[in-house]
Structure formats: C-alpha cells, structure tokens
Amino acid sequence: MFGKKLLKDLFLPAIFTASSVLVACAGTATPTSPNPTTARPAATSTAEFFAPTPSPDTNPSVTPVPKSDIPEQLPTQTATALPTATNAPDPTATSAATPAPTKTPAQEPSPTAAATLTPKPTPVPTATPETRITREEARKIKSEIGVSAQKSVFAIYLGWFGQSKWTDWSHWEWTGENPHDPRKFTGDNKRDTASADYPLIGPYRSEDPELMRYHARLAKSMGIDALVVDWYTYKDTKNTDLAYMDRNFSKMMDVAEQESYQLSVIMEPKIHFNGWIKHASREESVEAVKDDFRYVLKNYSKRKSFFKHDGLPVLFVYDTIRLTPSEWSSLVGDMENEGHHFVLVGDITDPDYLGSFSSLYEWPNYEGVTKEGASYHNRVLDNLNRTTEGRADVVTSAAVWPGFNDTGVWGWGGGPRVIGGDANFYNTTWDAALSNKSKWTVIATFNDWNEGTQIEPSLERGFEYLDITIRNISRLKAVGIDPAAAAGITQDYLSSR
C-alpha cells in the first residue's frame, strides 16, 4: 500500500482516539471543524470523526458534461515501482486467505453417551447438480421482475487504481495539463494524487486482496447489496492495457465469496467503438461486445458471489446507447440461444431499449442539473416512471450521487467540471429516488476519485457521505443500520497495514 508508514503515523491516531467512538447512532449531527490531525474526543456518529471542509467552489463559467470518451492516459514506462507493504499477500495468489474463525468450545459429551456411541466414517459430500434455468423460465421471471424485485442498492466500483503495464500509479497520476505525480508529496504530507479529495486510507492498489476485503466489508456494513465493478474486456492488444480490470475482478469474486458478499459488473461496450480496440466494421464491434458478455456469463455469472434476481445474474451497462435497440436485442437473443439467461440494467431512459433491458435509469447528468438545479432529478424520474407505469416487466431504478469534480485529471484534458460535492446535493438525489419509489438504487460511485463522485471516506469529509448513504438506505429498506460499524471496519483495516 502507498505510504504505509506515513498514513499510520499521521492519520490513524487522529481518526480513532477512543474506543468509545464506535456507537450505534444515526449520524445526523452537524460536524464541527477541528484540524483532522488533532486528537478528537469521543464522537456520537461516524460523521463526527472528521469535519468536512468546504466543497470546492462551483465555477459558474464551466458547463459540466457527461463522462467523455477521452481515453485513459498512458503514462511513460519509467515509473518508480510502488512500495510494497511488508505484510502484503503473495501477489501470485488468486485470493486472500480466509481469517480463521473463533473457536467455540465444544460441549463435552456425557461418559454414558461416549461409551455407547460408535464412531461412523465421515460421509463424502456429493456435488449438488447445477440448477439450469430454461429460456421459458427466464422469460417468466423477467416478465414479473417489476413486482417480484426486492428493494436493493448497488454502488459502482472502480478497480483500476495503482497498477497497469504502463505505470505503478495508474489513475493516481495525471500527466496532462496541470499534472499530478503521486511519487511526490504536497506541503500537507499527502501524495500529489489526481483527485480533488484524498482517500482516508491513502492511495491504494486495486489488486490488493486485503483492500478488496476492506471495501466489501465496508459496503456490506452500509447496506449496499452489491458492488458493481467497472469491467472493460478480458483480452488486450499490444497497444492496450484493459484486461487487468478483469484480473482484479476475478480476485475480487474470490474475496466476495469469503465475505459472503455479492458483486456484479458494469460493462463498457464503448471500448469497441471509440478506437481503444480497433475493429474493421461496426458489425465486428458488436460481435466483440457479444464476446465480452459471453466471457462474463460463462466465467462469473454462476458463482455464488455474483448478484442474482430469482437465479438470473444481473448485469449493468455503461453507455448503453453505443448499441441500438435492435443490436441489444440481437445480443440478448444470441446469449439465450447459447443457454445464458440474465437481467440487464441500462443507463438510458429511452423506452425503446425496454425488452432487452429490465431496468433503466439515467447516469448522473451534470449538464441537466446545472441548467435546472435540483428539480432535474425529480423530472427525469417522473418521466421514466410514467413511461414504465403498469409494466410488470420493468424494475424502477434511480441513480444517486454526491456531485462531480474532475479537476484532478483536468476534465480528462478538456478542463475541469465541477458541480455539487456536498451533503445537500447528495441528499437531494436520494430524496428524489425515494419519493419516486424506485426499487433499485444505483450509487454513482463508491470510489471514482478521479471524477470526484466517490462516497468512500476521505480526509476532507471523513465519513460524511457514508452516514448519508446509511441513513437513506435505512429509509429505503425500513431497517436499522449501525453507522459505527463502518468506522470500526476502517479502523481495523488501517491498523493492519
């Protein structure tokens, strides 16, 4: 992990100064503003661990726009190797070892029972045959999904930090205009990362199984049903480095199984249309997207740790509009012919995509919110709900997000875009989702530090976004969630590094 000693020496004592801080509280108090490196008295909420600093000023001259197709930067190959923690797991291992369970003393049998019982050989377990869902069964499940779906919360997860064949600091550095070099330290003893805010645990390697375990435990403690991991493809050309996200996802599936947690993927078909992976024709691009779906469905979707609805794996798509409704229909039909049945969730509100997709939502639209303000959220959801009203084959969905700030990567070269980035904005998106009675809620995002949409704890805001998330998930599901659990999980992770 980056800056292991620095983080523990400077930040850990400031975060957790008393064991009494871990209490079950709803976290609604307004934080004060001490220096985060100063010891604090016991808090009554995770929100009180850190006082959030003022949000970056929104530049009224900047018109935020949706995530662009500007390719990820490809830094030079002269990068300094990333420091390796002395207790880091073997990088060749496919998963982290499961912590040994606490032993419970066995009840001693009575002497009489011991004398009369005859030991029997341990039976050899037999494999449970896989239950295969037929096409007719799958279609029936999807035809009723709007009624049968449970209220669920998903969070988009980025697994691309810290390594690639180009650099050991992938996505923590920016070499374009207004560059950031995380090998260097700023005046406040933080690495110079390509992000507006700084991770509470410091910049990290996504490939680290213990980091994956921490994130899975943190999300689970918040009531998030599945982390939806950004996924590009499983194979590379000599000029691309995209498949490392699949390698990380494979490890993360192992960790999720150990933690009894679930994951999904958000597919990005854009890589086959924007020149990142070149194809001779549109038909070849569409076939390449089908090949990616085939790979995910074959290799991951049947595992216990893959999120499912009534036995059908649920897959998400980013930039759904890259394929036409007829092309998506062809893709789903081809997969069904091969025995793969699944539920699709798309980031688009065009009803022409229904049929192939069982749920639609709008990816955070920065331009729309800039023009219309908070009312934009409700208007979009109202329109979508009217379009799908009375349809049992559609799950109502909504996206929630804390704001957007890609200053760290200078708008991927196009100039920074900033909007929201505070508790009020994040609560507004949750209020819209709850008032429209959406069954599935998509948090965008768990940890996109480059674009400033993360809810993961930061030095600047502490656990503020986590507290808001927990409070609103409690409202959605009508359950109680202890906000102090997330703080304890973070404390344990930092103490172990």
Residue 122 maps to a domain: no
Nearest 5°: phi and psi at 462?
60, -130
Residue 215 maps to a domain: yes
Mapped to the 3 state alphabet, what secondary structure does the chain carry?
CCCHHHHHHHCHHHHCCCHHHCCCCCCCCCCCCCCCCCCCCCCCCHHHCCCCCCCCCCCCCCCCCCCCCCCCCCCCCCCCCCCCCCCCCCCCCCCCCCCCCCCCCCCCCCHHHHHHCCCCCCCCCCCCCCCCCCHHHHHHHHHCHHHHCCCEEEEEECCCCCCCCCCCCCCCCECCCCCECCCCECCCCCECCCCCCCECCCCCCCCCHHHHHHHHHHHHHHCCCEEEEEECCCCCCCCCCCCHHHHHHHHHHHHHHHCCCCEEEEECHHHHCCCCCCCCCHHHHHHHHHHHHHHHHHHCCCCCCECEECCEEEEEECCHHHCCHHHHHHHHHHHHHCCCCCEEEECCCCHHHECCECEECCCCCHHHHHHHCCHHHHHHHHHHHHHHCCCCCCEEEEEECCEEECHHHHHHHCCCCEEECCHHHHHHHHHHHHHCCCCEEEECCCCCCCCCCCCCCECCCECHHHHHHHHHHHHHHCCCCCCHHHHHHHHHHHHHC
Which one-letter amino acid corresponds to residue 30? T
CA distance readout (Å), 492 to 8, 37, 342, 495: 12, 19, 37, 5
Residue 77 maps to a domain: no
CA distance 285 to 271: 9
Nearest 5°: phi and psi at 63?
-100, 105
Residue 284 maps to a domain: yes
Handedness of CA 446, 451, 452, 457 (dihedral sign): positive
The answer to whether the CB of 23 falls within 8 A of the CB of 44 is: yes
Residue 193 maps to a domain: yes
CA distance 177 to 14: 34
Residue 316's closest CA among 152, 476, 442?
442
The answer to whether the CB of 199 falls within 8 A of the CB of 458 is: yes
Provide the domain limits for residue 183.
Answer: 151-471
pLDDT less than 50: residues of the chain: 1-128
Which one-letter amino acid corresponds to residue 440? W
pLDDT, residue 130, reads: 57
pLDDT, residue 20, reads: 34
User: Could you read off the pLDDT of 358-387 as tens digits, one per residue?
Assistant: 999 999 988 899 888 888 988 999 988 888
Do β-strands 312-317 and 308-309 pair in parallel, antiparallel, or remain unpaired? antiparallel
Residue 294 tokens, joined: 């085939």
Residue 271's closest CA among 325, 318, 331?
318
User: Could you read off the pLDDT of 403-418 as tens digits, one per residue?
Assistant: 999 999 999 999 999 9
pLDDT, residue 37, reads: 33
Residue 33 maps to a domain: no
Residue 45 maps to a domain: no
Q: What count of other Cβ atoms lies within 10 Å of the Cβ of residue 61?
A: 6
CA distance 120 to 133: 38
* Total domains, the chain: 1
CA distance 80 to 85: 15
Residue 65 maps to a domain: no
87 burial (CB, 10 Å; 0-12 / 13-18 / 19+) is exposed
- Give the predicted TM-score (pTM) of the model: 0.77
pLDDT, residue 285, reads: 98
The domain that holds 352 is classified in CATH as: 3.20.20.80
The answer to whether the CB of 51 falls within 8 A of the CB of 32 is: yes
